[in-house]
Structure formats: C-alpha cells, structure tokens
Chain A
Amino acid sequence: MPLNPDIKKVLVIGSGPIVIGQAAEFDYAGTQACRALKEEGLEVVLINSNPATIMTDKAMADHIYIEPLTLEVVRRVIDIEKPDRLLSTLGGQHGLTLSMQLDKEGFLAERGVRLLGARRDTIDKAEDRQLFKDAMAQIGQPCILSKVVESVEDAVDFMREIGYPAIIRPAFTMGGSGGGRADNEEELRTIAAGGLRTSPIHQILVEKCIAGWKEIEFEVIRDSAGNMITVCSMENLDPVGVHTGDSIVVAPAVTLSAPQLHMLRTAALNIVDALGVEGGCNCQFALHPDSLEYAIIEVNPRVSRSSALASKATGYPIARVATKIAVGYRLDEIENTVTGSTYACYEPALDYLVVKFPKWPFDKFVYGNRKLGTQMKATGEVMAIGSSFEQAIMKAVRSVELGIDTLRLPRLAGKTDAEIEDLLSCCDDERIFVVYEALTRGIALERIHAATQIDRWFLAKLKNLADMEALLSQDGLTPQTYLAAKKWGFPDKAIERLSGQPVGDLHRPAVYKMVDTCAGEFRAEAPYFYATYGDENEAEQFLQAHPTDKRKVLVFGSGPIRIGQGIEFDYCSVHCVWALKQQGYEAVIVNNNPETVSTDFDTSDRLYFDPLTPEDVDNVLAVEQPWGVVVQFGGQTAIKLTGHLEKRGVNILGTSADSVDAAEDRERFDRLLEDCGIPRPAGDTVFTTEDAVKVANRLGYPVLLRPSYVLGGQNMIIAHSDRQVEEYMTIITGHKLENPVLVDKYMMGTEVEVDAICDGENYLIPGIMEHIERAGIHSGDSISVYPPQNLSRRVRDTVVEYTGRLAQALGVVGLVNIQYVVYDGEVYVIEVNPRSSRTVPYISKVTGVPMVELATRAMLGEKLATMGYGTGLYPESDYVAVKVPVFSFEKLHDVDVHLGPEMKSTGEVLGVAKTFEEALLKGLVGAGYRLEHQGGVLITVRDLDKAEILPIAEAFEALGFDLYGTEGTANFLNNHMVPTSSVKKIGEGSPNILELIDSGKVSYVISTSEKGANPAEDSVKMRRRTVERAIACLTAIDTAAALTGCLRTGKTMADVELIDITRI
C-alpha cells in the first residue's frame, strides 16, 4: 500500500524542552519524521515549545508553532490549521500523552483529525497496567508478577505461589520508604508488616524481585500489514535495577545464546503484534541469568531514546521508516536509504559492537544523589563503535569527557582494597570505574560479579583492558603490544604514559569501516564511518571512488548533551554543515552523540562517529585531509581542540586560535579591553586563600570566584564574606591548582547578552537580549528577553559599539557571544566567547537572520556587506521572544533548586508574542509553570533581599493571594503593612513550613538564602519539597517580580494569539 491519498496535512507534536529522560533524540526523530512527510508532498504543521531544535526550522515544516505544549494550545492549533492527521509517536511520552487525551475527549473526532502512528487501543494496552497485563496474559507473555495486598498473610501466600525474592513497596509513601527486599518468608513477614504500618492506606505491593537479571531490549518495527522486523537487540551492562537510560548498553546483545535471543525476539514480535503497533516499538525484557525465565519490563510503542540509539547503532532510520508506515507504506515498499539497494523490510546485521555510555550531571551537582536506580539521571549519552568491546568502551570513555583516557579513575587510586570492595556494591555513576579499579588490583572476578551482578563476559573484557595496562607498564612497548593495545582502543597518549616510552615510529593510524546495515553483504552508499584497526580503509576507498573538485571542510560536533552544552550546539553544527554544502563545499561531521541530527548519516557528506580527542581527530584528518575545519559550533568540546589543530597546522576556519586564547587568557583579555577602552568589573587572579581574601577585601564584597580553566559557570560562586571565600578556596585548592582562581567584583546589575556575526571587518548583531534576573544567575538559567525592554538608547548604543570594537580587536570571523552587565548606567563586559552560543537558535528564529549560515559564509571569506542582512544592529522584530529555562530538579534528588552562577537548567522553551507580558506568559506556561491566579505565596528571603521583596509581596497581596512567611520575612512584611502569616521553621513544631507546602495551600514559593546547597540545610529541604509537590519555586527576586507582572495582566493562555513563526 503506498501513500494514503486521503492524507493531506499532518500535525506533528514535538517533545518540548530538554529534560532528563527526554533529550535531543526527539529532535532527531522529529526532524526525520518531518522530512519523511515533506518528501511525500504533505503539508506539515509542527508544534514544539523548544526553539533550540532543528525540527522547528523553517525548512522542516510548512507551519511552525513555538508554543507551550498543552492540550489547550494543541486544540487551538488544530482549529487554526485544520490538519487531517495527527502524528503522535514522534514527540516522546509528552507528545503521545497529549495526542491520546485529545483523542479520548473526542476533540480529534469532532475536528475530523485522525491519529497517525498509533491507535488509541494500542497505546491504552501498552500504558494501562491492567490492560497490558491482560493483553500479555492472552498471548502467554510473562509480566513481572505482583500483587497489591493488605495483610502479611496475603503477601506470604502470594510469594509462596511465585517464589522469592520479593520486593515490597508500601503504597503512598515518599521515596519508597518502608519497603525493601525479602529473600525468604521470615524477611517478608518483617518487611511487609513494617510496610503496611508506614503506608497511610495500609497497603503494599508485593512484586517478584528481578534485580540482577539481564536487561535486554529489542527495537521492533511493524507495518499495517503485520510485517515485522527487529532492528536490533541491545544488552544493558548494568543488570535490571538501573534505568536503561543510566545503563551502559551494548548492541547487539552479547551474552545471550542463539536460542535465548531467538526466544526474546519472538516474544518481542508477538507483543508488538498483539498490541497492533504500526511503526516503531521498544520492548524491554528481564532475563534470568541462569535460566530461560524472562519477564517484560516495559513496552514503548513510539520512538524513544533507545530507538535513536538503535538507529545510529545500525544505520537503520527508525523514525523515518515509522513515519512512512504511518502514512500508509509497507516495510517492503520503503527503500533502505543506506544501501540504496535493499528495503526497510530487513533486519540489520552488525559487524561491529556498539557501546553507549551515559553522561551524568554530577560534576555540576556535587550534592546530587549519585545512586542509580529506576529514576533516570543522565542528561545525555555518547555512543562508540568498535571491532571489540574493549575498543568500543575505551572510545566511549574518551567521548564522555571525564578527563580520562582509560577506565582508570585517578580518584580511586587512593582507596584501600577493602574500600574498593565496599564501593562495588554501591551502584552509582562511577561504579564501572570501581569495577575496573578492582580488576586492576586483582580482586577476583567472581567477587566482583557477586557484588555487582554484572555478567562475567563484561568483567572478563574489562579485565583484558586492566591486563593490557599492566602489560604496558611492566613489559614496556613492543610492536606487538602496541598493535594489541590499539586494537583495544588505547590512545597513544595512554600507551606512552603507561609504558613510559614514546610511541614514535610504532604509530599506526586507524582505518575506517562503514556502518552499512548489512555487515558488508551488500554494497552500501552511506558514508558513515568509524575508526578501528585492520587491513582496509573504507573511508579512503570511498574518497577515491568519489573524487570531487569541492573543498572539504570538517565540522566538529559537541559530544554528549550536558548541562551548559545542549542541543543548541548540535543545531549550530547542523546548520554549519548545510551552509557549507550550499556554498559548494563538502561538509564532514565528526561527533559521538547518538541522539542528534548531526549524526544522522544523511546530514553531512560524510559522518565519522568517533571521539573528539586530539588523536581520534588526527585519524580523521589523515584520511580526509580537509581544506579547513570548523570548531566554532561544537561548544567547548570542539573549541578545546583548537590548540591541537593549530599545532598541527590545520586551517581553522574563522576566528583564529590566537584570538580564542586572547579571549580566554585573563591577562591578555584585560589588556585587550584596556586597548579598546572597555570597562570590566575589577578583579584579579589568585592562587592561595590568603590572596583571595586580600583581593576580595580590596574589591569589596560581594565578589565572584571561579577557576580560570573552565567556562560555563562550573564551580563558580558569589561570596559575600571572608568566610565564604575561605570555604570556596579550601574546596578548590583541594584539587591540584594548575590555573589561578579569578576573583572579580560582583556587580548586581542587568545582564545583557549579544551574539554577533563578524567577518573580520564588519559585524552584524541580530538582536540584543536582556536577562530578567540580574547578574549572578548563570545566563543559561536566566529568563532572556529579546528585544530588550528596559535598556536606554544610550546603553543599547554602547553595547553595539563595544561589540563592534571587541569583534574587531579580537579579529572574530564567525560568531561571537558577549555578555555585559549594566550597573549604575554603565556597561561592563563580563565575558567574551568567540564561538556559537546557546542563544543562537532562538535569536535566528525570531529575527529571521540565519546566523550560522552567515557566520559560515563569513568564515569562508564572504563579507557581511554582500550577504543582504546589513551590518550593525539588525532592525528589531515586531515580536517579543522570551526564553525560559527548564530544569530537571524532580529527577535529581538532593539537588538544591536555588539558582546561582553555576548553570542548572537542562533545556529551555520560548514564548513569542506581540508584547513582553504575553511572551513571558507563554514562556512560563511552556516551561511548566502552572500560573495560578489564586492561593497562597510562601516567602522566605535572606535579609539582603527583604527590601526588594516588599513590592512583590504587595503585588501578590493585591492580586488576592494569601501570604505566608518564615518568622523574619513575615515580621518584616507585617511591619511594612503587608499582612503575612508566620510559619514555623522545620523542627520548630507543627504546623511547620513543610506541612504548609504539603497542605496544597501554596501556589508559589519565593525562597532566597545565603546558605549553600547542602541537602541537610533546612532551606534546601524546603525547596526540595516544593519541587516534589510540583509547586513553582522562585529563587531570584527578579523572577518573582516578572511573574507578578505577568499575573497582573490577568491574562491566561486563552487570551493570547498563537503565532506561526514561518509568517514572521
């Protein structure tokens, strides 16, 4: 069946902001889907609140709404656009849930819109626990056995039936307290009794415990005719118990025998068929390690993080195929675009091993609970392809940017063997390194297996790496060991360090193999490569077979999604590639993130899926011999390569390495500013605590402290006293201090940010952004407004003027991001980043200036004057755009939600409207704020903020809110004639502040405190509780002020116009 001719106009729902558990993979899937639809000549309407996505680009859809993803908004978009179909399975769980609700309430039927990609009964069966159980029982597929009971005897009876061990989960207790694991009846009786006591409704769930079983996944595709294939099997290195998003995953599964794998494959096909899925579906199984017993963990009848991984791991474009199926095609009618000669009705064969490694945010959240469990905590991931597990995991560890190039974590070296053995049972983000450390110390494999339940296969492979390290350090370097080490993924640098000998002439460059979906069985045309060691270099052959007169440019991607370096950089990389192609160049991508559009095999002319370290990059350079390379768009990951590339004499397009250094080196930068006559907050560099205190006192508090070697606000604080400076310096000097610490006068003024495109002579500023929160909150966590609402003409002119001077003085060619602070009417420079920034995608979209394209053209030598967008400040748009950060605090236990100079947000949404208030309203709603117009406001602020909180409290009171405050705050407000109820602090009796939050009387919490992020602090506990209760918690006075302004208009989403951004 080809394209269903009834389909004319399709609404696609995106997944919204990046949060933990829902990252860039949905931009990748959505982009593929939009392209697949447009290929069919269909009109595409898109709604997604996330402006940093490729899918919200004008080329991707005919009508684009960057609007909050709420039922109400989707309904209105449907009424405006009148689509006849709604594609529901490409926008993650959120998009799917919205679609199902619209279907259930009858809205879709009323408007004549039909669901594409998933039928409602399919989704119901997959998502409703009981319906799913029933459906599985019908086809004889085992679910994890469980029963809700209200007595110990019932629990015991049930476990007698199904066998121990058991997991006991009391109903309605916070964080699973009162539950546990029972290995026999005696234990069960104790735990069940305790669980029943803790449960407020005297109820527990008794479940078969499958911790320690193998976790195996299949990606299945089924078409409407019932044809099915499995794209790939995946095996989690971490056994059941760790969320698959937090697991190290290999593809294909390696420890299952053919009959075991066949059994699970058959089960997956049977499940998908029983659910009637039309498109992609992910099936997760738990498999008993010592028998053929298995159970279904979960089924996701939509594209997912796993399907993105499976796509990149195999070359099979799941989202594209799922979309084609949704519009009517059968699997055997869809061409395999990788081989060009086979069809989508085909199971990929791999001739390599893939390892996925998660990227966790604990470097940012030092107090975050690092334990891994059922709640995913990773913000992103890397994928590595190798000819062996050893090679692939070594690549993965390099790619994930932990500062290590083997699996040896230096921090563990100081621990005793006993400590290491203890740590083995602690399942956190570093456990793989603990396992490795244990292996290097000769702790028996069986003991490690017993403690971790990690399959012996993986342990033996890790031991190979440990043994190789030992061999290199004991026996030194021989040609044989060198080659063996290379085959197992050791970089030259590590080999030299371990052996103490230079590699010298032994060095052998890697060869490249193609990811072709078919293990070489068919000739493939997809230029998708990975490095390994072997006889034949297919990339070289490919280049020889495809000679071109075009110049080649290598674009370095941004690696894993993490806080501070998100999807925005992938957006920039992809746009750079497109611009290069359009300008008649061959564009080649190097990147290692499977969740992205940049690593789609047909984005660039060639894709190298490999780590972004100097040696890995050298290998690509050797085979590609590009005319030039681009580092500006890949965030810090790519920028970090600049020095190395320059040393190699590579032609770095755009801003020179020297200019990058001039912007980053404190002294050079100070001199440059002085030459330009541009002021910056006074400051100095120090190495010791005494100097830090001295400088701080000279500058006057508050001061900003940060290490000079990291950007992005990492380990940055604002200190108000000697004590805080000392505390900070103690922590920082605890590490080896190679670079100085910067101490700057902290100016609490308005923060202003610009991105400019420069050609070396001229510059173009598409727009100036003003932050709602004053300096001190990381720019990535601030609400940012374009165009600025409160800047005087003079300030704007100064900003433009300074930007031009700086761009010229630094010789920027391409993009530059500059952050300013306006303090007492004066403009100061805070930071200059001669590279793309996270604001580029949204400014490009609201101003219509294709920033990356222009920057790329400038880097290729074109002048702004001839590009048609003018120079200087670009005319202001008629629309106001407000970027609101989105956090993943509910996923990260013990992390303080208080905003500061260190970035904490994982994503962002955009609100676009005619006025600032409306745009802010959209932004806040899109970011998930429930904009309540009544209820209570709890205020607890430090003394510093008391004066400023007064007008905000007054505004809330005027709006009819009940005010609550902790003693100090309440007294202050009452003294100033704002009636406020005083609330007891934690530990001061009942009802206290936590009970107030639990009571549901509070709609907003405003909390600022001087005390740190330690989860033991009362203020942190209180803020955590607001997160758990899904109450908006504002930790900056400015955010609160903006919110009251927004509430004061009295408007809701129903009152604001929705905007198709292709029309602006």
Chain B
Amino acid sequence: MIKNPIKARLILADGRVYEGISFGCTGSALGEVVFTTGAVGYQESLTDPSHYGQLVAFTFPLMGNYGINREDSSSEHFAVAGCIVREWCEVPSNFCLEEDLHSFLKRRGVVGICDIDTRALTRHLRDHGPMKGLITTEALSVQEALSQIEAFHIQDAVAAVTCRTVTRHSAPEPRYTVGLYDLGHNRRTLGWLMDMGCRVILLPAGTPPEDIAALDLDGLVLSEGPGDPADNPDIVADIGRMAAMRALPMLGIGLGHQLMALSAGGCTVRMPRGHRGSNQPVADLATGQIFITAQNHGYQAVPHSLPAEVAVLSHQNVNDQSCEGLRYLTHPWLSVQFRPESFTAPGGTNRVFLEFAALMDGIKEGK
C-alpha cells in the first residue's frame, strides 16, 4: 500500500471524473482516452507510437507484474501521454526485469493514475466511444480541465513519431531489400521483416518518392502509426506518385494500410471503439483460416469505398466484420490492419509475408 499517496484525477470530456492515486509522473496529461485489453504486453503498449496522444487505460487490473525490461519496448523513445491502471505492481518479478512500472513511467515522463475502477471506465468508453480526457494531480477545477480538454487535438501525429534519418538494418543472407516507410513503426515490425529475410531501409515519413525510387527496393512496407489517417494528405499523395513511377510492391500495415486505401480512392472511418489488444480474430478470406491477432487502431478502411476492380477484401474481423486487409488488383499491393506476425501458422508459415514476397518476386522476374 502506498504511504501518503498523492491524489490524481482522470477527467473525461463529458465531465465524468475518476478519482485515483498518482503514479509515474505527477502533473497533467491531455490525450484521447482509449482502453486496451491485453493482460500482458503493457511495456509494448506504453511504447507503441500508434498510441501517440493517447491516455491508455489497461483493462487487466494488475499492471507491471513482470516489470520493464530492455528488450520489449516497441520503440526507443516514444511513450504514451498517460497511463491508467487499477493497480501497479510494486514488487515485480521476472528474470529479465530492469525496473518497475512506476520508475519507467517517471523516466519516460508519463503521467499515471492508479486505483480507479478501470472496468467502469472501460464500459463508459465502450458505450460512449473514445473521448478526450485529462489526468492531473493539480488542483484544477473540472471546468478548467474541460476547457483544456476541449482545446486539445492530436495534430501532426506521424511527424511526431517518425524517425529523423534513414537507417539500414541487415539480416543474415537477405533475400529482399525493402523500405520501411516509418509512420510510427513498431520495432516488432522491423524485427519481423528481418526475420522474414529482408534487408530493411527505414525511411522517415515524408521521404520524397523520387528518393525512394532511387533505392531500387524490392518492396515498400508502410508501417503502422498513430492518429486519423485523413490527417496525412501529403503522404497519401506520395503513395500515389510512387505507384505511378513504377510497379513497386507495397505492404501496408495498420495506418499504412489505411493510407494506401485513401491513396487508391477509398475512405476511412473512425470506429465506435477501435481494436486494442491481442485477441482480435481475423479470417483470411482466401483460405478461411482464422488467426488471433494483436491490434491497436481506432480507424478502419472502408472496403466498399474502393471499386471492386481496384481492391478486394482479403481479411475480415470475425467479431465485427470490419476490414482487416485488402488486396489490390490495380497495383502489386496488399495491406493488413493487424500486426502481421500474429498471422504465423504452426510451422512458421506467414501468409501475409508470403504474398508480399510473391509480389516482389513477380516484379523481380518481370525485370
């Protein structure tokens, strides 16, 4: 039990207030309040750039059980705006552990609140949709807080999280050279591509299409990332230009998948609650196979906004039938909404990568 706890509040845009106890940093943090359902993987979530501008609530009540380690962060420097838990673990236990959750949040400057009824919060967000909010340890009035919340908007999310320079990451005996267009990539995506036998060139968002063309890539992967896809008109335009320059195989993941849909003339919408967690069932419509996938997104591409001759739905969520993947007929493109490594069958086959590889091989042969 924390001795002399500092009180903290979570105030939502609709005026709802949750009183709890501060942990991590004190102070205030504004953001969009979302919940995520994984019982493990908090370190990955807290450092996932897709959570840019968000106050992340964990539905599993005990967080920080195995502490924080060096290996598992999704990014080097990024951290969520705020962390909302029921209880954090003061004595974590794991052989990899380096520090506890509280110390980690402090170090990364994350404002946290604990000891609140996270299930009540989750149900509120579920029924009323994600909404903006504020975590604060300060003596703000609710009115003041609401005006701050009102004024807050997530802006330039991709610019805030993309890498600054081009870096090259080689795998032993690479079979392909792919560019990873960094919209706020997760380290796991980079690692996955390397595992799949790719030499990866990590490219900052906004890299001119000409420069990318000059790299003579076998394929381009558009990474996951944060925010509203519609906030990225320039990137969407660049994707179109790249496609126009040459037949470049592209694999979109998460935000990348959404931006490709926009570039092909489709539209995206905000989902009533989004998918955040590691238990989303997705069907590969070509094989009927279903995989349980990890996801973190609040928007989705609208498949029927794309003409049938442009793209077809390739993957679908079993629960809410939302779009989880598209296969383009006009371009050597495919894209998925979920974390692609969760589509690995026993034995190690990953059909997402196999298809991408087939596209790359096709172009190579054509050369």
Q: B219-236 vs A: 1/0 string, CB under 8 Å?
A: 000000000000000000
A484 within 8 Å of B by Cβ?
Answer: yes
* B292 engages A468 (CB within 8 Å): no
Q: Which residues of A contact B65 (CB under 8 A)?
A: 254-255, 457
Partner of A467, one of B1, B39, B92, B273: B1
* B62 engages A388 (CB within 8 Å): yes
Q: Which residues of A contact B59 (CB under 8 A)?
A: 349, 351, 519-521
- Give complex CA distance A254, B35 in Å: 20
Q: A246-288 vs B: 1/0 string, CB under 8 Å?
A: 0000001011111111000010011001100000000000000
Partner of B318, one of A343, A353, A538: A343
A460 within 8 Å of B by Cβ?
Answer: yes
- Interface residue range, chain B: 35 or more
Q: B9-39 vs A: 1/0 string, CB under 8 Å?
A: 0000000001000000000000000010111
Q: Which residues of B contact A332 (CB under 8 A)?
A: 281, 283, 290, 318
Among residues of B, the one whose C-beta sits closest to the C-beta of A389 is: B62
Known: A387-B61, A467-B1. A255 touches B66 (CB 8 A): yes
* B91 engages A457 (CB within 8 Å): yes
B361 within 8 Å of A by Cβ?
Answer: no
Most buried by B among A291, A520, A535: A520
A65 within 8 Å of B by Cβ?
Answer: no
Q: Which residues of B contact A352 (CB under 8 A)?
A: 61
Q: B227-267 vs A: 1/0 string, CB under 8 Å?
A: 00000000000000000000000000000000000000000
* A519 engages B37 (CB within 8 Å): yes
* A513 engages B119 (CB within 8 Å): yes
Cβ of A390 to closest chain B Cβ, rounded Å: 9
- Give complex CA distance A353, B86 in Å: 12
Q: Which residues of B contact A471 (CB under 8 A)?
A: 1
A518 within 8 Å of B by Cβ?
Answer: yes
Q: Which residues of B contact A229 (CB under 8 A)?
A: 281, 292
What are some 13 contacts across the A-B interface (CB < 8 A)? A139-B346, A229-B292, A257-B69, A269-B346, A331-B290, A342-B319, A345-B281, A349-B38, A457-B93, A520-B119, A521-B59, A523-B127, A534-B119
Cβ of B14 to closest chain A Cβ, rounded Å: 15
Q: Which residues of B contact A513 (CB under 8 A)?
A: 119
Chain A to chain B: the 8 pairs with minimum beta-carbon distance, closest first: A460-B91, A534-B117, A457-B93, A347-B279, A536-B120, A519-B59, A520-B122, A273-B346
A346 within 8 Å of B by Cβ?
Answer: yes
* B1 engages A254 (CB within 8 Å): no
Partner of A535, one of B44, B120, B288: B120
A551 within 8 Å of B by Cβ?
Answer: no
B309 within 8 Å of A by Cβ?
Answer: no
Among residues of B, the one whose C-beta sits closest to the C-beta of A471 is: B1
Cβ of A649 to closest chain B Cβ, rounded Å: 32
* B66 engages A349 (CB within 8 Å): no
Cβ of A164 to closest chain B Cβ, rounded Å: 19
A289 within 8 Å of B by Cβ?
Answer: yes
Cβ of A255 to closest chain B Cβ, rounded Å: 5
Q: Which residues of A contact B290 (CB under 8 A)?
A: 227, 331-332, 345
Q: Considering the complex, which residues of chain B in the window 36-81 have a beta carbon less than 8 Å from any beta carbon of chain A?
A: 37-41, 43-44, 59-62, 65-66, 69, 71-72
A225 within 8 Å of B by Cβ?
Answer: yes
* B44 engages A258 (CB within 8 Å): yes
Among residues of B, the one whose C-beta sits closest to the C-beta of A226 is: B289
B118 within 8 Å of A by Cβ?
Answer: yes
- Give complex CA distance A254, B63 in Å: 9
Cβ of A926 to closest chain B Cβ, rounded Å: 42
Q: Which residues of A contact B344 (CB under 8 A)?
A: 266
Q: Which residues of A contact B289 (CB under 8 A)?
A: 225-227
Cβ of B9 to closest chain A Cβ, rounded Å: 13
- Give complex CA distance A331, B347 in Å: 21
Q: Considering the complex, which residues of chain B in the window 173-191 have a beta carbon less than 8 Å from any beta carbon of chain A?
A: none
* A257 engages B319 (CB within 8 Å): no
Among residues of B, the one whose C-beta sits closest to the C-beta of A521 is: B37
A621 within 8 Å of B by Cβ?
Answer: no
Q: Considering the complex, which residues of chain B in the window 257-295 have a beta carbon less than 8 Å from any beta carbon of chain A?
A: 273, 277-279, 281, 283, 288-290, 292
Q: A386-406 vs B: 1/0 string, CB under 8 Å?
A: 011100000000000000000
A522 within 8 Å of B by Cβ?
Answer: yes
* B94 engages A255 (CB within 8 Å): yes
Cβ of B296 to closest chain A Cβ, rounded Å: 13
A290 within 8 Å of B by Cβ?
Answer: yes
* B91 engages A456 (CB within 8 Å): yes
Cβ of B186 to closest chain A Cβ, rounded Å: 13
Q: Which residues of B contact A290 (CB under 8 A)?
A: 95
* A256 engages B279 (CB within 8 Å): no
Q: Which residues of B contact A343 (CB under 8 A)?
A: 281, 318-319
- Give complex CA distance A353, B72 in Å: 24
Interface size on A, residues (CB 8 A): 61
B96 within 8 Å of A by Cβ?
Answer: yes
Known: A258-B41, A343-B281, A457-B89. A350 touches B60 (CB 8 A): yes
A348 within 8 Å of B by Cβ?
Answer: yes
Partner of A257, one of B18, B72, B89: B72
Q: Which residues of A contact B288 (CB under 8 A)?
A: 225
Q: Considering the complex, which residues of chain B in the window 102-132 have a beta carbon less than 8 Å from any beta carbon of chain A?
A: 116-120, 122-123, 126-127
- The majority secondary structure among interface residues of chain B is loop
Q: Considering the complex, which residues of chain B in the window 315-348 have a beta carbon less than 8 Å from any beta carbon of chain A?
A: 318-319, 344, 346-347
Q: Considering the complex, which residues of chain A in the window 447-485 have a beta carbon less than 8 Å from any beta carbon of chain B?
A: 455-457, 460-461, 464, 467-468, 471, 484
* A521 engages B273 (CB within 8 Å): yes
Known: A225-B289, A261-B40, A270-B346. A351 touches B71 (CB 8 A): no
* A519 engages B60 (CB within 8 Å): yes
Q: Which residues of A contact B95 (CB under 8 A)?
A: 289-291
* A457 engages B92 (CB within 8 Å): yes
Most buried by A among B92, B277, B319: B319
B90 within 8 Å of A by Cβ?
Answer: yes
Q: Considering the complex, which residues of chain A in the window 307-360 have a beta carbon less than 8 Å from any beta carbon of chain B?
A: 331-332, 341-343, 345-353
Among residues of B, the one whose C-beta sits closest to the C-beta of A254 is: B65
Q: Which residues of A contact B44 (CB under 8 A)?
A: 258
Given A254-B62, A455-B93, 15 other A-B residues pairs in contact with their CB atoms under 8 A: A227-B290, A229-B281, A255-B94, A258-B38, A259-B71, A346-B318, A349-B60, A351-B61, A387-B86, A387-B87, A461-B91, A519-B37, A519-B119, A520-B35, A536-B120
Cβ of A133 to closest chain B Cβ, rounded Å: 18
Among residues of B, the one whose C-beta sits closest to the C-beta of A457 is: B93
Cβ of A293 to closest chain B Cβ, rounded Å: 11
* A468 engages B61 (CB within 8 Å): no
Known: A349-B39, A534-B120. A259 touches B62 (CB 8 A): no
Among residues of B, the one whose C-beta sits closest to the C-beta of A518 is: B37
- Give complex CA distance A387, B87 in Å: 9
Q: Which residues of B contact A261 (CB under 8 A)?
A: 40
Among residues of A, the one whose C-beta sits closest to the C-beta of B292 is: A347
Among residues of A, the one whose C-beta sits closest to the C-beta of B127 is: A523
- Give complex CA distance A518, B126 in Å: 12
Q: Which residues of A contact B40 (CB under 8 A)?
A: 252, 256-258, 261
* B91 engages A484 (CB within 8 Å): no
Q: Which residues of B contact A256 (CB under 8 A)?
A: 40, 66, 94
Among residues of A, the one whose C-beta sits closest to the C-beta of B115 is: A487
Known: A332-B283, A521-B273. A258 touches B18 (CB 8 A): no
* B346 engages A351 (CB within 8 Å): no
Among residues of B, the one whose C-beta sits closest to the C-beta of A353 is: B62
Most buried by A among B1, B119, B318: B119
Known: A353-B62, A388-B87, A534-B117. A345 touches B1 (CB 8 A): no
- Give complex CA distance A949, B319 in Å: 70
- Give complex CA distance A538, B124 in Å: 12
Q: A892-919 vs B: 1/0 string, CB under 8 Å?
A: 0000000000000000000000000000
* B122 engages A519 (CB within 8 Å): yes
- Give complex CA distance A261, B289 in Å: 23
Q: Which residues of A contact B94 (CB under 8 A)?
A: 255-257, 260
Q: Considering the complex, which residues of chain B in the window 136-176 have a beta carbon less than 8 Å from any beta carbon of chain A?
A: none
- Give complex CA distance A1036, B320 in Å: 65
